[in-house]
Structure 1
Amino acid sequence: MKSINIKKLYNYSAYIMILLLFFSKGLPNVMLIILSVLFLINFDSKIFKINYSAKTILLVLLLYLTIKSLFYGNLPFDFKIYKGLLLLLWISVLLYKIEDIKTLKLVVLMSINACILVSLFLIARFYFQTGILPFSNTAEVNNLLLLERPYIGFVAVLGFLIAIEKAISFSNWRWIYSINSLALLAFIILISARISIITIFFIAGIYFLFYFKTKWYKKILCALSLLILFLIIVVSNKNISERFFIKSDFEKSMQEASDYEPRIVIWHCAYDMTQNNEFNRITGFEGYQIIKNNFLSCYESSIENESKKQYFLSEKFNSHNQFIDLYLVGGILALLLFIVFFVKLFYEVKNDFIATSIVISFLFFFLVENIFYRQFGCYLFGIFIFKLIPPKRINNE
């Protein structure tokens, strides 16, 4: 009886942690501590069994980066980043004990919907006060959303995929989950979340090309139709077209992108620092302190507009690409380990379209953000990648 009560308490603590994740930075950590204590009370060493999986590759990556930082004496500074990897691995260990995946997915979906509803309330209040929806390149947008636009768009994509899965699985509630998925899709378009829109259309294309059972020419026709629909949405929606820097001619579009897209400057600086003599292509820079200083030095010397320069220097932008980040700090070794991690992950989930779509969503988001820099991103990664998507089933028979 005591074991059953601890199990229930454990499950509910995990659910509360997930519900709080979208509304607070500190409270999920409190629940994480409670989960950790309950885990130690009912400790099971089988959870730590080592096998060849995507998680093991990520653990090897963390060990490599940690040993390298110790060697160069940079661990006190670098650990600020590496603790994110440690956090997501620990979350995956704690959630391993949650057996009811259906309920866990429902809790995640409810949390995402609550986050979106609060954001819609803030948007509606602003619209009734001003009569505008400032979802182009404006500073106001993040004040209207519970999370920053890239992250809330990404969260909406994950919620959209869970809702689609539940619409397929539960016939009695199919219409509710179908409406939920459409509402999340509409929200993504409303806030003009670029990478999320691209991700949704790419996933749909993958479905028609590889999972939709029909003749090959119909697959190609569906994929082309999706591409045309994407272009129509980008061109016809004013906010989205401005987010994609669509202007009257190509030169104006490139100038607009250069002026308002920070990643153009950031990635150019990242490339420049790899040409530096202190950069080792095999093992990268000695640590994150050097990378941070190099970025600041590049912003100082390469940005001519004074206000833009001060903005970059005050924000201290990182690489905004997890692959670039790992290449800078760990060289080809770290980059290859991260690529192998995704290859292994795709292999484990290739037969499950929703699981594959979740992996694709994270892959695309890694191309524009450093998820491991943020506690929230590490929570999402640990929950979705290491718990909610099923591993490749091995038939021992």
Structure 2
Amino acid sequence: MKNVIKQNAFDYLIYILILTLFFSKALPNILLVLLSLLYLKDLNLKDYKKTFSAGTILFVLLLYLFFKSLIYGSIVYDLKVYKGMLLLFWFSLILRKITDIERFKFFILLGINACIVSSLFLIGMFFYKNHTLPFANTAEVNNLLLLERPYIGFVAVLGFLLSVEKAVVSIKQKWIYILNAIVLLLFIILISARISIITIFCIAVVYFLFYYKVQWYKKILFTASIIVLFGIIVMTNKNISERFFIKNNIEESLKVASDYEPRIVIWNCANKMTAKKDFLLLSGFSGYETITNNFLDCYATTIENQSKKEYFLSEKFNSHNQFIDFYLIGGLLGLVLFVSFFIKLFYEAKSNFFAIAIAISFLLFFFVENIFYRQFGCYLFAIFILNLVPQKKVSNA
């Protein structure tokens, strides 16, 4: 009885952490300290089997980067990034003690819905006052959302996948989860979250090509229909078309994209810095401080527009691409290890469509954001990639 009470307390602390994760930076960390104490108190190393998994490859990558920083003497600065990766591994170990995976998923979905509903309330208040929605390319967007647009869109994608999975395996609440999935999908379209829209359509294509059991010509028909639908949404929705820089011709679209898409400047700078003498093809730069300074130097010398230059220098934009980031800091060794992690992850998850869908979501998001730079991103990675993706059981909750 005592063990049951202790386990229930542990589980509910995790549920509270999940619910607060979308609203606070400090509270999840406080709860993590409490969970860590409970976890260490009952720690039994015999409960953990030594297995070679995708997480193992990622841990090897972290060890490689950590010892490389020690050798170059850049560990103090680099720990700003590595501490997030350490957190995600530690949190994933704690999450393994959860006894009810379906209830855990329910609380994740509850937290995501609370975040989306709060944002919809702010959007509604703005529309009531201004009779317009600023979801094209304005600075007002992030003031209307609880998280920055790419992250709240990404969270909505994860919630959409959990809702669809629940609708498939649930019996009593099927239509509630279907409705929830529709609301989350409409929210993604409403806020014109580019990478999230692309992710949903890519997942749909993967489903029809590899998991939908019909004749091959029907697979092609469904896939083509998805692509056409994507084109219609992009071309007919004004906010989304502006987010994708759709103009009268390709030249005009490219010009607008170069003016308003920071990643074009950032990735160009990342490419230029790899030509520097202190960049080693096999192991990358000596540390993150060098990379940061290289980005700032590039922004200062390549951006002609003064206000744009000041914006980039004040924001100190990182690479906004986790693959580029590991290439810059770890060279080919770092990049190969990170790519190997995803290859192993997809191999482990191939029999479960929803696990594959989550893996695809993170893969695509890594192309536009450095998730490991943010505590919130590390928590999400630990929850979904290191814990939910490996789950083999499907419950009829």
Structure 1 position 204 matched with structure 2 position 226: no
Deviation per residue, 1:164-191 (Å, 9 max, x gap) = 0000001211100000000000000000
Residue 47 (structure 1) shift: 4.8
Output the CA distance in 2 between the equivalents of 1:47 and 1:226.
45
Alignment of 1:24-39 (within 5 A): 24-39=24-39
Residue number in structure 2 paired with 1:368 = 368
Q: TM-score, normalised by structure 1?
A: 0.98
Q: CA deviation at 1:49?
A: 3.5
Whichever residue aligns with residue 356 of structure 2, its letter is T
Structure 2 residue aligned with 1:57: 57
Equivalence map 1:208-219=2 (5 Å)? 208-219=208-219
Provide structure 1 residue ranges, at least 5 long, that are not aligned to the other structure: none
Percent identity for Structure 1 against Structure 2 = 62
Residues 12-54 of structure 1, C-alpha deviations (whole Å, 9 max, x = no match): 0000000000000000000100100110111121355432111
Given that residues 10 and 38 in structure 1 are in contact (C-alpha distance below 8 angstroms), is that contact kept between their aligned partners in structure 2?
Answer: yes
Aligned to 1:178: 178
- Using the alignment, how far apart are the partners of 2:46 and 2:93 within structure 1? 11
1:359 is aligned with what amino acid?
A
Pairing of 1:339-358 with structure 2 (within 5 A): 339-358=339-358
Counterparts of 1:108-123 in structure 2, within 5 Å, are 108-123=108-123
In 2, are the aligned partners of 1:92 and 1:382 still within 8 Å (CA)? Answer: yes
Q: Runs in 1 of length 4+ with deviation above 6 angstroms? A: none
The AA in structure 2 aligned to 1:93 is L
Q: Equivalent residue of 2:276, what SS?
A: coil
Q: Distance in 1 between matches of 2:356 and 2:101?
A: 17
Q: Deviations over 1:277-330 (max 9, x none)?
A: 110010000000000000000000000000000000000000000000000000
Alignment of 1:290-301 (within 5 A): 290-301=290-301
Alignment-mate amino acid for residue 181 of structure 1: A
Task: Give the letter aligned to residue 271 of structure 1.
Answer: N
Q: How does 1:1-397 map to 2 (within 5 A)?
A: 1-391=1-391
Distance of 1:390 and 1:164 partners within structure 2: 18
Structure 2 CA distance for aligned equivalents of residues 375 and 352 of structure 1:
28
CA contact (8 A) 1:84 1:374 kept: yes
- TM-score, scaled relative to structure 2: 0.98
Distance in structure 1 (CA, Å) of the matches to 2:22 and 2:30: 14
- Tell me, yes or no, if the aligned pair for 1:50 and 1:56 is still in contact at 8 Å: no
- Structure 1 residues 61 and 48, CA gap change in structure 2 (3 angstroms): farther
Gaps of 5+ in 2: none
CA 1:68–1:47: 2 relative to 1, 3 Å: farther
Mapped partners of 1:370, 1:17: distance in 2? 23
For the 8 Å contact 1:320–1:369, the answer to whether it is kept is yes
Distance 1:51 1:84 in 2: 23
Separation of aligned partners in 1, 2:65 and 2:391: 26
Alignment deviations for residues 73-117 of structure 1 (CA, whole Å, 9 cap, x no partner): 000000000111101000100000002100000000000000000
Q: How big is the shift at 1:392? A: 6.3
Distance 1:47 1:341, change over 3 A: farther
Quote the offset at 1:2 in angstroms. Answer: 2.2
**What SS does the corresponding residue of 2:253 show, helix, strand or coil?**
helix
Taking the aligned partners of 2:30 and 2:99, their CA distance within structure 1 comes to 22
| Shift, 1:4, TM fit | 1.6
How big is the alpha-carbon RMSD for the aligned residues of Structure 1 and Structure 2? 0.9
Distance 1:43 1:119 in 2: 40
Task: State the alpha-carbon separation in 2 of the partners of residues 328 and 302 from structure 1.
Answer: 19
